[in-house]
Amino acid sequence: MPEDTVHADTPAEARIAAARGSRNDHTRRRNLSSLLTAVHYGGPLTRAQLTRDTGLNRSTIGGLVAELSELGLVVEDAAAETGTVGRPSHIVRPRRDVVALALHADVDALELGAVGIDGAVLARRRANLDAPPTPDDAAAFSWEAAREVAAELGGVRAAGIGAAVPGLVGIDGATVVDAPHLGWRDVALGERLRGALGIPVVVGNDANMGLRAEWSFGAAKGVDTVVYLNGSASGIGGAALVGGRMLRGGRGYGGEFGHMMIRSDGDRCSCGRRGCLETEVNAALLDEAAHDAAALDRFAEVLAAAIANLECAFDPDAVLLAGYLGALFDVRRELVTDQVRAMAFRPDAEDVVIARAALGGNRLLIGAAERAFAPLLRDPAGTALAALA
């Protein structure tokens, strides 16, 4: 930030004034961030609610709302019905034309969505595929779908694009190190998407992005230690939020809960080992067992054992189940919950919430968009938006 730079040869008074100005500027930008973040998570809010949520006083809020309006990030509605006696409060809401794009690349489809500041999926495009997409397919689809959703929405300004990939993503948030189901190895997906779209790109593991979405807007909202298990066509993806930080592990392989060993003499897994969770409970086995109550009980018991192991490792406040594991949990809720509690290591195990993920088919788009929105939420005045028409 060059405007914050103070040179050594500047006279002392000017240096002090500049330092003060810089501090004020820093405070203002931080407050803008607090306000936009409150609207991001809380949806449309009155000035009174913003005062309560941010701890800033009313006049400061007024100035900040005006600045966010000038930046084209929020709109303020005139008087709203509050249902209480007194001055009607204005409602501050995110502008609908500010979006983050979100791409989900999967084995059988590419999907792109435009997601609003409040986490609403405003428009989407999907291409069903016979074979896994190549990185070039993903870039070409993103270019075309971005233009289509922008046209559908009458033009948007994009903070960037987040891409959710079923595989291991480098610490740079740009390189797909290994996505075995897609056949992608060391793919510079960030660079390709930036080349195609000309906007900032962040690439992430799909399960991490799913958990991120549930933490921001879904079943784990505001819960800081969460274990997440998602069953899909490409196996079981896992993620863990530990004290508010996403688990990565030393080299990025952390959270591969689908390959937790459940039975050392079980079936051979795609990873080469035997009896992994995803070979013991998967979409094909559950389809076969749809009308077999005893088989469903057995799968529920396997799932419960996996959850009990994860509880030992993470001591979570909540365990979220998505995809086919969420569906299995729905039909065997009591059995899973009882078994987990019976096997619990920690005391007060009934405090651990086991729940089905809440955001359904929008989850990965919302989670990918969350990553793309992060710089804008951190510094609303200093983050450029790109117009897409």
Q: Identify whether the C-beta of residue 54 lies closer than 8 Å to the C-beta of residue 47.
A: no
- In whole angstroms, the minimum distance from the beta carbon of 271 to Zn ion comes to 3
Q: Identify whether the C-beta of residue 311 lies closer than 8 Å to the C-beta of residue 226.
A: no
Stretch that binds Zn ion, among 77-85, 254-262, 329-337, 359-367 (CB under 5 A): 254-262
Q: What's the CA gap between 69 and 62, in Å, rounded?
A: 11
- In whole angstroms, the minimum distance from the beta carbon of 95 to Zn ion comes to 45
- In whole angstroms, the minimum distance from the beta carbon of 259 to Zn ion comes to 4
Among 276, 365, 369, 377, which residue sits at the site for Zn ion (rule: CB under 5 A)? 276
- Distance separating the N- and C-terminal Cα atoms of the chain: 30
Kindly report the number of other CB atoms within 10 A of residue 60's CB atom: 17
- In whole angstroms, the minimum distance from the beta carbon of 157 to Zn ion comes to 43
Provide the 8-state DSSP code for 173.
S
Q: Does 259 bind Zn ion (CB under 5 A)?
A: yes
115 vs 269 by CB, closer to Zn ion: 269
Q: Which of 293, 125, 284, 139 is nearest to 203 (CA)?
A: 139
113 vs 238 by CB, closer to Zn ion: 238
Among 129, 188, 271, 344, which residue sits at the site for Zn ion (rule: CB under 5 A)? 271
Under rule CB under 5 A, how many of the chain's residues touch Zn ion?
5
Q: What's the CA gap between 94 and 97, in Å, rounded?
A: 9
163 vs 307 by CB, closer to Zn ion: 307
Could you tell me which residues come within 8 angstroms of residue 171 by beta carbon, excluding any fewer than 6 positions away? 248, 252
- In whole angstroms, the minimum distance from the beta carbon of 268 to Zn ion comes to 9
- In whole angstroms, the minimum distance from the beta carbon of 181 to Zn ion comes to 13
Distance (Å) of CA 38 to CA 244, 260, 282, 357 = 18, 38, 39, 23
Q: What's the CA gap between 329 and 321, in Å, rounded?
A: 7
280 vs 370 by CB, closer to Zn ion: 280
256 vs 311 by CB, closer to Zn ion: 256
324 vs 373 by CB, closer to Zn ion: 324
Q: Does 269 bind Zn ion (CB under 5 A)?
A: yes
Number of H helices, E strands in the chain: 12, 17
- In whole angstroms, the minimum distance from the beta carbon of 26 to Zn ion comes to 48
Q: Does 281 bind Zn ion (CB under 5 A)?
A: no
Q: Which of residues 128-167 bind Zn ion (CB under 5 A)?
A: none
197 vs 277 by CB, closer to Zn ion: 277
User: Alpha-carbon dihedral of residues 282, 288, 291, 292, nearest 10 degrees?
Assistant: -80
- Residue ranges in contact with Zn ion by CB under 5 A: 259, 269, 271, 273, 276
